[in-house]
Chain A
Amino acid sequence: MKINLKINGQSRQFLIEPNEYLLDVLRRNDYLSVRRGCDNTSCGVCTVLIDNKPVPSCSVLAARCENKEITTVEGIETEVEKLAKYFGELGADQCGYCNPSMALTVYSLKLENRNANIEEVKEYLVGNLCRCTGYVAQHEAIMKYLGDES
């Protein structure tokens, strides 16, 4: 079957199987910043935005995304540069595997609640696991990013 998606502002059409998940379709078509982790919604590394809401692409059937707007980390480049600056300054980054998904979730939080406090940040990011950092520096970097009005 065919589906039409808008990915990072570009209209794309893909041939898919009815049981294919969005993660598989995206990776098969070279959107490799969308990572595969647990494949069961626990880790959050497969996060993409559908109509600006973060979802686990490993568990969304691609067929249900007809005409939806999909955003991967490449679609929010300017925001990612800002966030990366704070991640770098605060040493919030190690292996980087979870970074694209985390950036998308943080961007979505910014759209939803720019004035989020640290507890709200922690709560919003509970579905994004990072096995390297221990989160403290990440949360600090995210608070700085949310406060950055440039």
Chain B
Amino acid sequence: MEVKELIRAKDALEAYTLLNEFKGSKVMAGGAWMKLSVKSVDKLILLDDLNLDYIKEENEFLEIGAMTSLRTIEMHPAIKSMNSGILAKAIKSIMGVQVRNIATIGGSVMGRFAFSDLLGALLVLDCRLYFHDLQEITVFDFLQMPKVPSDILLNIKIKKTAGKGYFHKVSKTHLDFSLLNIAITKNELFRIAIGSRPQTATLAINTANFLNSQSEINEETIKKAVEIACDEIKVSTNLRASKEYREVLLKTYLTRGLEEVIK
């Protein structure tokens, strides 16, 4: 990667201004993916001096700074216990410890990577993102935006919940990208996200609405929910897996996941 100028921003305002004033400037989070995907940057903006590497526990929320490494998050006791530890499980499935020590949650979110294992877990945990300019937005709304905003992500807030959760990634090897991943939480309501379809993770809203309207969840309702999910969630073919294979994976792991969270 060619870098003409490297700038350590002193605060979020400086980073935001540089990013928006100079065409060809980019913000670097962990940097691992950027090395593989960006050939040349005029101004590379580093957020290392913004003190965004932290996890703060508040009464109802966990606040995670955007520059916190995935490994730090994965090892945090509150993350390990929240909704059966699905966020920790999702992170654990990403590459090895070395990469997770440099990859940050901010970079993983702002990349909106189609193969992301993290986004599905964040969707079902109902996280909110806090930006320098854009202020507050849910992960779901962020993923619906046509373009990634030219903004500085400061932190992510996750509502503390005590319900159950399920995360499963299907891949050929541990280090490979997902062929499909599924995240489910069951607090007062069900939330279901399907990722690496191969498109970016999305919520299965109709499926969750159906489950949430049922007085009892049993084998029949799960079967019906899986049918709704197969209609609602578009999967397709890419080099890693066919549409047909992804449909089988969706049916299989959604069934298993729902069975798991109602136990």
| Contacts from A to B (Cβ < 8 Å) | 1, 17-19, 21, 40-42, 44, 47, 50, 53-56, 58-61, 63-64, 105, 108, 123-128
Tally of A-B Cβ pairs under 8 angstroms: 72
B6 surroundings in chain A (CB, below 8 A): 1, 18-19, 61, 63
Nearest-Cβ distance from residue B103 to partner chain A, whole angstroms: 9
Which one of B4, B46, B92, B98 lies within 8 Å of A41 (CB-CB)? Answer: B98
Which are the 8 A-B pairs with shortest beta-carbon distances?
A: A127-B96, A19-B3, A18-B6, A59-B32, A127-B98, A18-B3, A56-B98, A126-B96
With a 10 A CB-CB cut-off, give which of B5, B97, B175 has the most chain A CB atoms. B97
- Alpha-carbon gap, A53 to B69, bound state (A): 11
Are B46 and A64 within 8 A (Cβ)?
yes
Measured between alpha carbons, how far is A42 from B174 in the docked complex, in Å? 11
Q: Which residues of B contact A54 (CB under 8 A)?
A: 97-98, 101
- Residues from chain B with a CB closer than 8 A to the CB of A63 are 6, 46
Q: CB within 8 A of A19: which of B2, B97, B175?
A: B2
The smallest C-beta distance from B236 to any residue of chain A, in angstroms, reads 26
- What are the residues of chain B within 8 A of A108 when measuring CB–CB? 97
Binding site for A on B (CB under 8 A): 1-6, 28, 31-32, 35-36, 44, 46, 48, 71, 92, 95-99, 101-102, 174-175
Q: How far is the CA of A85 from the CA of B47 in the complex (A)?
A: 43
Provide the residues of chain A in CB contact with B2, threshold 8 Å.
19
- B48 touches which of A21, A55, A64, A124 (Cβ 8 Å): A64
Considering the complex, give the chain A residue whose CB is closest to the CB of B4.
A18
Closest residue to A47 on the B side, CB-wise? B98
Which chain A residues border B101 with CB–CB below 8 Å?
50, 53-55
SS of A interface (majority) = mixed
Given contact pairs A18-B3, A19-B3, A53-B71, A41 touches B32 in the complex (Cβ within 8 A): yes
Tell me whether A18 and B5 are in contact (CB under 8 A): yes
CA separation between A54 and B4, bound complex, in Å? 28
Contact between chains at A40 and B96 (CB < 8 Å): no
Q: Can you list 18 A-B pairs with a CB-CB distance of less than 8 A?
A: A18-B3, A19-B1, A19-B6, A41-B95, A41-B99, A42-B95, A42-B175, A44-B96, A55-B98, A55-B102, A56-B32, A56-B102, A59-B99, A60-B31, A63-B46, A64-B46, A125-B96, A128-B96
Measured CB to CB, the closest approach of chain A to B43, in angstroms, equals 10
Closest to B2 in A: A19
Q: Chain B residues with Cβ under 8 A from A59's Cβ? A: 31-32, 35, 99, 102
Give min CB distance, B102 to chain A, whole Å: 5
> How long is the Cα–Cα vector from A19 to B39 in the complex, in angstroms?
11
Cα separation A17 to B4 with both chains bound (whole Å): 9
Which residues of the partner chain A approach B96 to less than 8 Å between Cβ atoms? Answer: 44, 125-128
By a CB distance below 8 angstroms, the chain B residues around A1 are 6
Instruction: Give the one of B1, B35, B175 with max A CB within 10 A.
Output: B35
Q: Give the CA-CA distance A54 to B101 in the complex, in Å.
A: 7
Instruction: Give CA–CA (A126, B100) in the complex, Å.
Output: 12
**Chain A residue at smallest Cβ distance from B100:** A127
Please, which residue of chain A has its CB at the minimum distance from the CB of B46?
Answer: A64
CB distance from A118 to the nearest CB of B (A): 16
Q: Among A40, A53, A61, which residue has its beta carbon within 8 angstroms of that of B36?
A: A40
- The minimal Cβ–Cβ distance linking B4 to chain A, given in whole angstroms, is 8
Option from B5, B32, B92 in Cβ contact (under 8 Å) with A123: B92
Residues of B within 8 A of A64 (CB): 31, 46, 48
Having A41-B35, A47-B98, A55-B102, one finds 9 other A-B pairs with CB under 8 Å, namely: A40-B36, A55-B101, A56-B32, A60-B31, A63-B46, A125-B96, A126-B96, A127-B97, A127-B99
When C-beta atoms are compared, the residue in chain B nearest to A122 turns out to be B174
Residues in chain B near residue A55, CB distance under 8 A: 98, 101-102
User: Would you call A124 and B97 a contact (CB within 8 A)?
Assistant: yes
Q: Which residues of A contact B97 (CB under 8 A)?
A: 54, 105, 108, 124, 126-127
